[in-house]
Amino acid sequence: MEANQEVLAALYNLILAEGTRQWERSQLIIAKNALENNQSQGLAQLEAVLRPLALRDNLSPDVMDFYQALTETTSIATPSFTKTPQRSMQAADTETAIFAGGCFWCMVEPFENHPGILSVLSGYTGGQLAHPTYDQVLTGHTGHVEAVEIIFDPAIITYQELLTIYWGVTDPTDAFGQFQDRGAHYRPIIFTTTKKQVQVAQASKNQLQETMKYLQPIVTEILPAKPFWPAENRHQQFYLKQPKRYRRIKRARKQLQQFKALSAWTKGVFGAKKS
């Protein structure tokens, strides 16, 4: 309880500070309210929403100090904060999943509103370039793919359930992109963060192939997770920031998904009759 009071005091100070930007203040208030309601997930969510700006050194100075304390990357600068055990700043028993399935604009909403999901962050991974930008990844020469990093509570939602969502919003037979998104930086990949995830993902992929839902081979790769670089803030929660544009993109993606499924079914039915 004392640790929570120390964190709350730091949050209050930042909320009231003149140098705190309005967007930062709104996120701090959300975290403060969650902590006051004994919701430990609030700090994990705050860390996730601040991360894109923090990694680009674009937070106001005091909020950056708080963020560094939150992520244990530096000693805590606020005197009253020094008493706070670092573990109390973290959400316990969380797990991370990373999925690539085409443009990350369409990969956030399908996951974000499920119980047990703490945060869904758009970003880049799989390549060699550190701190890549959207324009650099778009060239297709960085080795990165657009992806989402999902922090979740496995006691509420399992990794298998996340995989079920993933298979439902991607085309696992397309190695050269996803629907209208073409290029190597849009290829479908499951990046695993634990040995158990490797086993569950491979079993799930095998099961999907055995269902004969797809006539073509499942080409989605399963690879060990590499450093995940959060995308620029304008790409985070794109479906909320540009809802009309997102709905158009989502509709086109869904139509292509349905067309491909119908084509596969037609080919299967009439191909079977001919044989």
Q: Hey, how many other C-beta atoms are within 10 angstroms of the C-beta on 170?
A: 23
Which pLDDT belongs to residue 79?
30
Task: Please report, for the chain, the start and end positions of each structural domain, with discontinuous segments joined by +.
Answer: 2-89, 95-266
Domain 95-266 fold: Peptide Methionine Sulfoxide Reductase; Chain A (3.30.1060)
Which pLDDT belongs to residue 82?
34
Which pLDDT belongs to residue 97?
97
**pTM higher than the cut 0.75:** no
Q: How far apart are CA 171 and CA 166, in angstroms?
A: 9
Which pLDDT belongs to residue 3?
55
Ranges in the chain, pLDDT < 70: 1-3, 40, 72-92, 261-275
Query: Catalytic residue numbers?
Result: 103
Contact residues for 238 (Cβ-Cβ < 8 A; gap 6+)? 104, 105, 108, 122, 246
Q: How far apart are CA 157 and CA 161, in angstroms?
A: 7
Q: How far apart are CA 197 and CA 103, in angstroms?
A: 23
Which pLDDT belongs to residue 78?
33
Contact residues for 204 (Cβ-Cβ < 8 A; gap 6+)? 160, 163, 164, 167
58-114 tens-digit pLDDT: 788 889 889 988 886 433 333 333 322 333 333 447 899 999 999 999 999 999 889
